[in-house]
């Protein structure tokens, strides 16, 4: 027997199948989609079996061993990997590896142990025990066939040991999954007529075209998802629910666990490798019918999928843009939906322009929820012009926002404050010589974190203590400029010393389970003010939150990206929607230096469609999505001059071979150097270019053996 193996090396040079002989003793274990250990040059590495054949004309080496006896890549995932390779121009092994938790990737040393618990069975049922401890131990078997060891030894470990030696009890090992889900009291909510229309449209779907659910914040989209999934389960099918942020996953998992118990499984990066390993195997074994998680959960090995739902579909976190393969979960959802003949539902209060445009053209079917479920009005939004306020006060919290915070807390209610920048200050500068302290590895200023007096690079992770004097002129004249969540926390503690402030950002949520603990603490009113970055902007539902304050609405508006207005409108609309979600009225205060900008004006009136129409006119004039497709080439390496010259050659090659594509660049990236790697970019804009992937693939092949240069290709990038 001969097998074709795709080895774990993610290089264009070895992106093909290699044949190996199978020893006779292993032939019965060989199946397509399992992992095997093979010799490769001087290495011993793992790979996936993709072919099985009888013979080969070449002289072959033998595989060493079978790693798994269970299939890791089923027929669907094998096909999907080839689709990802073709669409993203990645290697095939990268396409397969991205689907799997670390413990199941083809990679030596990525092993995770299964967790076992010891149980005991009663073998001699006539034995009554020779002393009191033995009798107490045996009494636990009167109503049960198996009893956990922990429970027995809590009575008497010596009695258990004696009974086992006599053959009265027999120990057995049972695998114990690390994640636990329990059904709690859940009251099924009655849907409004609008919600029921959405549910009916999805569960009676026969067209196999995706749905776009445009529902205002608080319109009950999650309850709609639950009713759809409940229907799917009754039909004996399974479901995937994607959420964009890890911080949303614990809350969503809790809601679904209350209703569906251990039918659910969670997949996201906050889980330990052991937890991911257990969840993946539970799903593959059919022990979980609902998968909830972030981007990678779209690859869950469910069978007979009945619905795929992507909540907050506008979020750019659904796009993997930092490494190969650069896929979008939306595309994978559509592919899997067609494979299973299952409806796909994209939901958002602020759909991406591309999705709404597709809905307007009939590519997606538009469903709407235009009102909040409790009949409450959307919160009142007030704009605070910081051009006037900044002249009168050095505080980042205006007097108007401070007054509203006092009123909110006096009523026994809660507030959320949003600033999409962590740390204490944006940068440190010298008042004497104007020196700005930058990262030695990156072309970016270091952010000051006052809690540990460290300067940190948010790109490469470099950190250094804050110097006492300027490293350039030696003067004691360093000052901090800009503002982050840490500085706002300090201001709040000074302005409202009685307020209990909870800061929620990457720095405070790095420990396992921190998101969940913070959300629960705030829900239990252990804190009065939740201060955070975009972690707090989406999906959270707190009945006592009646005030939302945006410290600086311009943070995302000033980013040099054609989507900056869309991202600003979406982010502000989402965070505004956290206010007044129960019976109490809500208020939102937005501090900005650009009060007349259309993205902010439309947030004030909760007018998504108005923003959509104006932004679409701008996109049409400038030739950006959804009117054009984009492809982004990033050319990087350690030698800046060499990289730039090669980037010019690549541009000339593109100009010779592409007829209908606008080619912009090469130009240096906004952050030119990251971790001592220099970076240039080329943007391709096109409506139709049939040979584009072939042209780009040839460029990849030309440079695949050149270690001085890295070519990254990103179709439909979420940002540059």
Q: Do 99 and 60 belong to one domain?
A: yes
Read off the pLDDT of each residue in 22-38 and give the average, rounded to a whole number.
95
- Assess contact for 703 and 649: CB atoms under 8 A: no
> In degrees rounded to 5, what are phi and psi of residue 430?
-100, 125
Higher pLDDT, 643 or 128: 643
Whether 470 is in a domain gets the answer no
pLDDT digits (tens, 9 = 90+) for 393-423: 678 899 999 999 999 999 999 999 999 887 7
Residue 176 pLDDT grade (very low, low, confident, very high; cuts 50, 70, 90): confident
How far, in Å, CA of 364 to CA of 575, rounded? Answer: 26
Mapping DSSP onto H, E and C, the string for 499-556 reads: CCEEEECCCCCCCCCHHHHHHHHHHCCCCCEEEECHHHCCCCCCCCEEEEEECCCCCC
- CATH number of the domain enclosing 95: 3.40.1440.60
Whether 643 is in a domain gets the answer yes
Read off the pLDDT of each residue in 5-10 and give the average, rounded to a whole number.
92
pLDDT at res. 266:
92
Give Cα separations from 94 to 78, 88, 440, 494 (angstroms): 12, 11, 31, 51
Choose among 213, 239, 216: nearest CA to 228: 239
Read off the pLDDT of each residue in 137-165 and give the average, rounded to a whole number.
93
Q: Do 236 and 143 belong to one domain?
A: no
pLDDT digits (tens, 9 = 90+) for 674-698: 999 999 999 999 999 989 999 999 9
Tokens of 720: 């540059």
Q: Do 615 and 635 belong to one domain?
A: no
Report which listed range, 155-169, 373-387, 454-468, 512-526, is most confident: 155-169
How far, in Å, CA of 202 to CA of 513, rounded? Answer: 34
Bridge partners for 195 per DSSP = none
pLDDT at res. 678:
96
Q: Hey, is 428 helix, strand or coil?
A: strand
Quick one: which H or E segment has residue 650? Answer: helix 640-657
How far, in Å, CA of 457 to CA of 436, rounded? Answer: 13
Q: Do 159 and 290 belong to one domain?
A: no
Whether 687 is in a domain gets the answer yes
- For residue 14, the tally of other CB atoms under 10 A from its CB is 15
- Between CA 19 and CA 106, with CA 91 as vertex, the angle to 5 degrees is 60
Read off the pLDDT of each residue in 313-335 and give the average, rounded to a whole number.
95
- Assess contact for 564 and 619: CB atoms under 8 A: no
pLDDT digits (tens, 9 = 90+) for 265-281: 999 888 888 899 999 99
Q: Do 159 and 71 belong to one domain?
A: no
Tokens of 567: 């991202």
Tokens of 599: 């993205």
Whether 365 has a pLDDT exceeding 90, the answer reads yes
Quick one: which H or E segment has residue 567? Answer: helix 564-576
Q: Is the peptide bond before 330 cis (omega within 30 degrees of 0)?
A: no
pLDDT at res. 560:
80
pLDDT at res. 637:
96
Report which listed range, 213-217, 417-421, 514-518, is most confident: 213-217
Q: Do 385 and 344 belong to one domain?
A: no
In this structure, are strands 427-430 and 478-481 parallel, antiparallel, or unpaired? Answer: antiparallel
Q: Do 564 and 690 belong to one domain?
A: no
Angle between helices 75-88 and 329-340 (to 10 degrees): 140
Its domain, for residue 165, covers 116-175
| Residue position matching structure tokens 């120990």 | 171
Q: Do 573 and 661 belong to one domain?
A: no
pLDDT at res. 109:
63
Whether 425 has a pLDDT exceeding 80, the answer reads no
How far, in Å, CA of 167 to CA of 158, rounded? Answer: 14
Read off the pLDDT of each residue in 451-472 and give the average, rounded to a whole number.
88
- CATH number of the domain enclosing 506: 3.40.50.300
Q: pTM for this one?
A: 0.89
Whether 561 is in a domain gets the answer yes
- For residue 349, the tally of other CB atoms under 10 A from its CB is 23
Work out whether the CA dihedral 653, 656, 659, 664 comes out positive or negative.
positive
Residue 450 pLDDT grade (very low, low, confident, very high; cuts 50, 70, 90): confident
554-591: burial string, b at 16+ Cβ within 10 Å, e else: bbbbeeeebbebbbbbbbbbbbbbbbbbeeeebbbbbb
Whether 344 has a pLDDT exceeding 90, the answer reads yes
Characterise 651 by phi-psi region: left (phi > 0), alpha (psi -120 to 50), beta (else). alpha
How far, in Å, CA of 457 to CA of 460, rounded? Answer: 6
pLDDT at res. 458:
84
Whether 188 is in a domain gets the answer no
Tokens of 718: 């979420």
**Considering 619, 651, 680, which residue would you say is the last residue of a domain?**
619
How far, in Å, CA of 366 to CA of 214, rounded? Answer: 7
Q: Do 409 and 544 belong to one domain?
A: yes
DSSP string, 188-248: PPPPPHHHHHHHHHHHT--S-PPEEEEE-TTS-HHHHHHHHHHHHHHTT-EEEEE-S-TTH
Q: Do 121 and 260 belong to one domain?
A: no
Tokens of 377: 């009005």
Sequence-separated (6 or more) residues with CB below 8 Å from residue 355: 212, 313, 314, 346, 348, 364
Choose among 634, 635, 694, 683: nearest CA to 661: 683
Q: What is the dihedral of CA 520, 523, 527, 530, to 10 degrees?
A: 90
Higher pLDDT, 330 or 420: 330
pLDDT at res. 311:
95
Higher pLDDT, 428 or 698: 698
Read off the pLDDT of each residue in 586-601 and give the average, rounded to a whole number.
95
pLDDT digits (tens, 9 = 90+) for 612-623: 999 999 999 999
Q: What is the DSSP letter of 173?
A: E
Whether 548 is in a domain gets the answer yes
Whether 12 has a pLDDT exceeding 90, the answer reads no
> In degrees rounded to 5, what are phi and psi of residue 218?
85, 10
Q: What is the dihedral of CA 706, 710, 716, 720, to 10 degrees?
A: -150
Radius of gyration of the CA atoms of the chain, in A: 29
Residue 358 pLDDT grade (very low, low, confident, very high; cuts 50, 70, 90): very high
- Assess contact for 582 and 575: CB atoms under 8 A: no
pLDDT digits (tens, 9 = 90+) for 38-54: 999 899 999 999 999 98
- Total structural domains within the chain: 5
Q: Number of helices and strands (H, E) in the chain?
A: 20, 30
Read off the pLDDT of each residue in 233-255 and give the average, rounded to a whole number.
88
- Assess contact for 634 and 671: CB atoms under 8 A: no
Q: Do 137 and 97 belong to one domain?
A: no
Q: Do 67 and 211 belong to one domain?
A: no
**What do you get for the CA distance between the two ends of the chain, in Å?**
49
Whether 33 is in a domain gets the answer yes
How far, in Å, CA of 544 to CA of 23, rounded? Answer: 66
Mean pLDDT score of the chain: 91
pLDDT digits (tens, 9 = 90+) for 49-84: 999 998 888 889 999 999 988 899 999 999 999 999
Q: Hey, is 677 helix, strand or coil?
A: strand
Q: Is the peptide bond before 90 cis (omega within 30 degrees of 0)?
A: no
Residues, the chain:
720
Characterise 315 by phi-psi region: left (phi > 0), alpha (psi -120 to 50), beta (else). beta
Whether 454 is in a domain gets the answer no
Whether 503 has a pLDDT exceeding 70, the answer reads yes
Sequence-separated (6 or more) residues with CB below 8 Å from residue 609: none
CA 339 from centroid of its chain's CA atoms:
24
Choose among 375, 359, 81, 19: nearest CA to 216: 375
pLDDT at res. 451:
75
**Considering 335, 369, 403, which residue would you say is the last residue of a domain?**
369
How far, in Å, CA of 32 to CA of 17, rounded? Answer: 13
């Amino acid at each position: 027997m001969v097998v074709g193996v795709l080895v774990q090396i993610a290089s264009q040079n070895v992106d093909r199948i290699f044949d190996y002989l199978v020893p006779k003793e292993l032939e019965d274990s060989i199946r397509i989609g399992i992992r095997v250990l093979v010799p490769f040059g001087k290495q011993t590495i793992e790979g996936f079996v993709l072919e099985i054949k009888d013979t080969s004309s070449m002289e072959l080496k033998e595989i060493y061993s079978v790693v798994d006896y269970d299939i890791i890549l089923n027929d669907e995932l094998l096909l999907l990997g080839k689709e990802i390779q073709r669409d993203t121009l990645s290697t095939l092994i990268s396409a397969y590896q991205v689907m799997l938790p670390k413990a199941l990737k083809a990679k030596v040393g990525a092993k995770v142990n299964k967790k076992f618990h010891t149980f005991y069975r009663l073998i001699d049922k006539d034995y009554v025990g020779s002393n009191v401890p033995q009798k107490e131990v045996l009494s636990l078997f009167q109503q049960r066939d198996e009893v956990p060891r922990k429970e027995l030894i809590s009575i008497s470990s010596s009695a258990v040991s004696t009974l086992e030696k006599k053959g009265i009890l027999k120990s057995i090992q049972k695998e114990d999954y690390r994640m636990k889900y329990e059904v709690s009291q859940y009251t099924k909510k009655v849907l409004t007529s609008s919600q029921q229309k959405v549910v009916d449209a999805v569960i009676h779907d026969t067209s196999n075209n995706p749905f776009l659910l445009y529902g205002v914040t608080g319109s009950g989209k999650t309850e709609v998802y639950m009713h759809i999934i409940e229907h799917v389960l009754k039909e004996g099918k399974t479901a995937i629910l994607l959420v964009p942020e890890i911080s949303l996953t614990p809350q969503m998992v809790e809601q679904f666990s209350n209703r569906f118990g251990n039918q659910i499984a969670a997949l996201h990066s906050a889980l330990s490798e052991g937890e991911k390993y257990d969840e993946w195997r539970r799903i593959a074994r059919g022990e979980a019918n609902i998968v909830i998680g972030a981007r990678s959960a779209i690859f869950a090995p469910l069978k007979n999928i009945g619905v795929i739902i992507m909540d907050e579909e506008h979020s750019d976190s659904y796009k993997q843009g930092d490494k190969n393969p650069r896929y979008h979960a939306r595309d994978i959802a559509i592919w899997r939906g067609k494979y299973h003949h299952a409806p796909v539902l994209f939901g958002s209060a602020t759909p991406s322009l591309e999705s709404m445009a597709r809905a307007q053209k009939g590519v997606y079917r538009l469903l709407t929820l235009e009102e909040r479920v409790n009949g409450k009005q959307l919160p009142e939004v007030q704009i605070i012009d910081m051009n006037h306020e900044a002249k009168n006060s050095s505080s980042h919290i205006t007097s108007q926002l401070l007054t509203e915070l006092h009123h909110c807390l006096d009523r026994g209610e809660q507030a959320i404050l949003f600033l999409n920048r962590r740390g204490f200050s944006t940068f440190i500068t010298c008042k004497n010589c104007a020196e700005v302290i930058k990262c030695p590895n990156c072309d970016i200023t270091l952010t000051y974190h006052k809690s540990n007096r460290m300067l940190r690079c948010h790109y490469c992770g470099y950190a250094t203590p804050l110097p006492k004097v300027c490293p350039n002129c030696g003067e004691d004249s360093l000052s901090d400029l800009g503002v982050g969540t840490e500085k706002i926390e300090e201001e709040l503690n000074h302005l409202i010393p009685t307020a209990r402030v909870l800061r929620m950002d990457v720095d405070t949520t790095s420990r396992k389970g921190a998101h969940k603990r913070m959300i629960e603490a705030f829900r239990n009113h252990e804190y009065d003010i939740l201060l955070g970055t975009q972690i707090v902007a989406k999906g959270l539902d707190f009945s006592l939150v009646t005030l939302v304050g945006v410290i600086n609405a311009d943070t995302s508006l000033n980013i040099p990206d054609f989507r900056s207005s869309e991202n600003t409108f979406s982010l502000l609309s989402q965070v505004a929607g956290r206010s007044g979600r129960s019976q109490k009225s809500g208020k939102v205060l937005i501090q900005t230096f650009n009060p007349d900008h259309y993205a902010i004006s439309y947030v004030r009136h909760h007018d998504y469609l108005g923003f959509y129409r104006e932004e679409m006119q701008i996109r049409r004039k400038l030739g950006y999505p959804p009117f054009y497709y984009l492809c982004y080439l990033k050319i990087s390496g350690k030698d800046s001059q060499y990289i730039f010259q090669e980037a010019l050659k690549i541009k000339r090659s593109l100009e010779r071979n592409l007829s209908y594509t606008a080619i912009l660049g090469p130009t240096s990236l906004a952050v030119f150097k990251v971790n001592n790697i220099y970076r240039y970019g080329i943007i391709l804009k096109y409506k139709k270019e049939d040979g584009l992937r072939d042209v780009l693939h040839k460029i990849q092949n030309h440079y695949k053996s050149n270690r001085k240069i890295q070519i990254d290709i990103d179709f439909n990038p979420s940002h540059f």
